[in-house]
């Protein structure tokens, strides 16, 4: 088939070429049109019909499964094979059996993912906290609805919720379940849609019912006073930051930290982890612990194993001798998923619109939903009772003169005329006449008549009560309150997740163990670094350097020392001597700029070695100024690797000198003049990028060149180079001192 001739495109919308329209036909198609016609319906389907729960707390897949089980009569004592349930559910949910069975597994008691499971399971349903404990196939397991589902389906047949056709218009299914408690917050629920997601944590049913009742009675009720925090089936501990929880309650977004619980068995010298955060698994924790032990970050552990069994979750950690279990666990909380964050995003479909609501807003929406359910149920009951009363009123007229009724029936020639004749004879309508005509002969006695008369009186009272309920919002809410109290009493449990104050947590600093041994450190003018052990240095003392390069600084220290590399961009990069590998004198060493990931065109100009960050740094600038900064201002608690504004950028840096305590120093300019002064004369500044004070006055065209410690005996007449006031020019060396200095330089 020939290609369709392309017309000139005058539309400014972006195009997507090469879209296949038919067999062999390729045309242009607007991206906007493609998104509108194809992607948007898909996105809306995922949001509205897949991933986001509604106000009853269920996604469509959950609701279809539970309703199928309800119609199968599984809200009782009898279980059936899971495969049977899956097959029946496919009449409402047109998906594969695997997806439906996975949904049922998550809702089951055996899987242990929900605080209040909806499926009473029998057989191997796996475990939520273990990725290796997989569930058995649906042909091996059995299930029925849990007793709490009585509250989900209560009065569902009384027009409490709307019903719609299933996907092939052969069955009806509910759009929502008329749950008598706020199921949307009782069990955890997560989902990822298109462009949005939902993540709802679980709350204690008893506390949630009390909170809902309190909101019904007082709109200004403080939710946190009755609903302090979420509750998880696995237990654990919530690090209870009041401000964080309140922010989640108000906005519907945020995260809080959950940690597992443990106990120490002194007889076996082991720690038993008995609960873990709901966001992780046993295997993930064990693998992480093994990794950090192999990396040498923790050395107190001798073995770890998963001992989860019929008694529940249990991960055992064997300890070495003289190990404090509490301190070790604090380390594990920091380094493993034993402490994790639960991210909340209370995104719920309200009247078909996804909305992120806080806890109180969600409960208010549920109350409004439940009010409508109760009103619809009441209206349904009222209609039924009024219809029955109408029939009994007609019966009452007949029973007052039963002989007349019998006479009319006997004297009617044709059966089709019985109903019209009764209607004429007693002044009743057709419905009443039909009902009367069906009365059995055995019921034409005094007892039956008295019972029906009494039933009329009871119906009138009930109808009056139902009408009063429909006319009063207060009475409707009182019914909801009574139902919530009943649910809390019948299904409520004590909180299993405990709350701990952040201030009670011991802050343990995790310092990786670094092997400590003597090393020699070398830093060259071209920015190369070597770390050589004394043994290796004795074997070959000659240093290999890049052509034209020289050793600029050298130190004798240990492998645990901290290194500070000052760069030409007024920054300092921090590292450990242990970060660099041991090397030999016969290699060039590590190029520091690459090793530490310095910025483009950034090079190190000086290296400083310290262990305790005690002492001072003197920064000499080309304009003759001198800045004195304590070394401890470069120490950071967070182990930052890079610090900006390490020194002033107002003038070019000439030299850096580290001194452990105040001493005499020598400043040398390019003119050859030297100034001898005591560092104590320079005021100490705690600001890293201080400009310093003027120390050496320079002649035009000359700059400060060098800073160095004064060595006794260097000058024949030291007083000649000192000055009582700063700044000063300094002095040129005399002939005798110049010769002495030259001899030292030659040496």
* Rounded Cα distance, 108 and 144, in Å: 9
Are 327 and 301 contacting, i.e. CB atoms less than 8 angstroms apart? Answer: no
* Rounded Cα distance, 101 and 87, in Å: 10
Residue 430 is given by DSSP the state H
Cα distances from 265 to residues 272, 282, 283, 289, 319, in angstroms, run 7, 20, 22, 19, 10
Least Cα distance to 714 among 666, 682, 681, 668 occurs for 666
Of the residues 140, 262, 491, 721, which is catalytic? 140
Active site residue 140: yes
Q: Provide, for the chain, the percentages of residues in helix, strand and coil under a 3-state DSSP scheme, each rounded to the nearest 5.
A: 35, 25, 40
* Rounded Cα distance, 470 and 682, in Å: 88
Backbone angles phi, psi at 369, to 5 degrees: -65, -45
Rounded to the nearest angstrom, the gap between the alpha carbon of residue 563 and the centroid of all alpha carbons in its chain is 37
Backbone angles phi, psi at 17, to 5 degrees: -85, 160
Are 73 and 145 contacting, i.e. CB atoms less than 8 angstroms apart? Answer: no
* Cis amide leading into 214 (omega within 30): no
Classify residue 332 as exposed, middle or buried by CB count within 10 Å of its CB (0-12, 13-18, 19+): buried
Rounded to the nearest angstrom, the gap between the alpha carbon of residue 262 and the centroid of all alpha carbons in its chain is 22
User: What separation, in Å, do the N-terminal and C-terminal C-alpha atoms of the chain show?
Assistant: 93
Backbone angles phi, psi at 327, to 5 degrees: -65, -40
Backbone angles phi, psi at 620, to 5 degrees: -100, 130
Are 602 and 671 contacting, i.e. CB atoms less than 8 angstroms apart? Answer: no
> Hey, which bits of 292-361 come out as E strands?
301-306, 315-319, 339-345, 347-350, 353-356
Residue 264 is inside which H or E element, if any?
Answer: strand 261-265
- Which distant-in-sequence residues (6+ apart) come within 8 Å of 617 by Cβ? 608, 628, 629, 630, 631, 656, 657, 658, 659
* Rounded Cα distance, 251 and 344, in Å: 10
Which sequence positions are flagged as catalytic?
A: 140
């Amino acid at each position: 088939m020939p290609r369709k001739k392309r017309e000139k495109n005058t539309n400014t919308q972006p195009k997507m070429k090469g879209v296949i329209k038919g067999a062999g036909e390729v045309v242009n198609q607007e991206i906007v049109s493609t998104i509108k016609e194809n992607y948007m319906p898909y996105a809306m389907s995922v949001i509205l019909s897949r991933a986001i729960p509604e106000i009853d707390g269920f996604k469509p897949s959950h609701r279809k499964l539970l309703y199928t089980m309800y119609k199968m009569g599984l809200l009782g004592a009898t279980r059936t094979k899971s495969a049977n349930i899956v097959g029946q559910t496919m009449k409402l949910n047109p998906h594969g059996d695997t997806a439906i069975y996975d949904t049922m597994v998550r809702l089951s008691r055996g899987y242990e993912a929900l605080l209040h499971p909806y499926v009473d399971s029998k057989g191997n349903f796996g475990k939520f906290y273990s990725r290796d404990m997989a569930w058995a196939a649906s042909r091996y397991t059995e299930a029925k609805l849990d007793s709490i589902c009585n509250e989900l389906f209560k009065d569902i047949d009384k027009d409490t919720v709307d019903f719609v056709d299933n996907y092939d218009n052969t069955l009806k299914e509910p759009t929502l379940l008329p749950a008598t408690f706020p199921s949307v917050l009782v069990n955890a629920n997560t989902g990822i849609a298109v462009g949005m997601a939902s993540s709802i944590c679980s709350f204690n049913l008893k506390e949630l019912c009390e909170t809902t009742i309190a909101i019904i009675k007082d709109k200004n009720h403080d939710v946190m006073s009755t609903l302090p925090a979420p509750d998880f089936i696995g237990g654990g501990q919530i690090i209870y930051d009041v401000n964080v929880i309140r922010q989640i309650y108000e906005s519907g977004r945020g995260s809080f930290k959950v940690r597992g619980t443990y106990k120490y068995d002194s007889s076996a010298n082991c720690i038993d982890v008995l609960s873990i955060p709901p966001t992780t698994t046993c295997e993930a924790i064990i693998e992480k612990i093994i990794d950090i032990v192999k990396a040498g970050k923790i050395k107190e552990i001798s073995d770890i194993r998963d001992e989860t069994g019929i008694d529940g979750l249990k991960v055992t950690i064997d300890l070495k001798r003289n190990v404090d279990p509490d301190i070790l666990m604090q380390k594990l909380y920091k380094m493993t998923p034993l402490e994790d964050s639960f991210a909340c995003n209370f995104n719920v479909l309200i009247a078909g619109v996804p909305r992120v609501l806080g806890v109180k807003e969600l409960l208010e929406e549920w109350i409004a939903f439940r009010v409508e359910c109760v009103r619809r149920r009441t209206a349904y009951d009222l209609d039924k009772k009024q219809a029955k009363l109408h029939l009994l009123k007609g019966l009452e007229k007949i029973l007052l003169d039963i002989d007349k009724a019998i006479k009319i029936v006997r004297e009617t020639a044709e059966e089709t005329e019985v109903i019209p004749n009764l209607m004429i004879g007693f002044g009743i309508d057709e419905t009443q006449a039909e009902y009367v005509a069906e009365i059995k002969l055995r019921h034409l006695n005094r007892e039956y008549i008295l019972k029906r008369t009494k039933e009329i009186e009871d119906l009138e009272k009930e109808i009056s009560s139902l009408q009063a309920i429909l006319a009063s919002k207060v009475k409707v809410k009182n019914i909801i309150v009574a139902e919530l109290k009943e649910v809390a009493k019948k299904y409520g449990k004590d909180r299993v997740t405990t709350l701990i104050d952040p201030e009670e947590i011991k802050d343990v600093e995790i310092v990786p163990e670094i092997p400590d041994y003597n090393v020699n450190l070398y830093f060259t003018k071209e920015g190369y670094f070597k770390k050589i052990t004394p043994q290796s240095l004795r074997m070959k003392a000659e240093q290999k350097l890049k052509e034209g390069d020289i050793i600029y600084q050298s130190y004798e220290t240990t492998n645990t020392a901290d290194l500070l590399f000052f760069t030409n961009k007024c920054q300092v990069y921090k590292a450990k001597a242990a970060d660099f590998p041991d090397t030999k004198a016969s290699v060039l060493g590590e190029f520091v700029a690459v090793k530490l990931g310095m910025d483009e065109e950034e090079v190190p100009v000086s290296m400083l070695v310290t262990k305790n960050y005690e002492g001072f740094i003197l920064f000499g600038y080309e304009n003759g100024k001198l800045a004195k900064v304590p070394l401890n201002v470069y120490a950071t608690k967070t182990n930052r690797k890079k610090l900006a504004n390490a020194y002033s950028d107002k003038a070019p840096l000439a030299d850096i000198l580290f001194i452990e305590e105040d001493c005499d120093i020598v400043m040398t300019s390019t003119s050859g003049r030297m100034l001898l002064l005591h560092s104590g004369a320079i005021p100490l500044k705690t600001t890293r990028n201080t400009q310093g004070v003027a120390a050496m006055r320079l002649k035009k065209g000359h700059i400060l060149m060098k800073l160095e410690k004064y060595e006794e005996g260097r000058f024949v007449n030291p007083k000649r180079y000192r000055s009582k006031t700063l700044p000063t020019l300094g002095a040129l060396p005399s002939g005798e001192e110049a010769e002495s200095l030259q001899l030292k330089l030659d040496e």
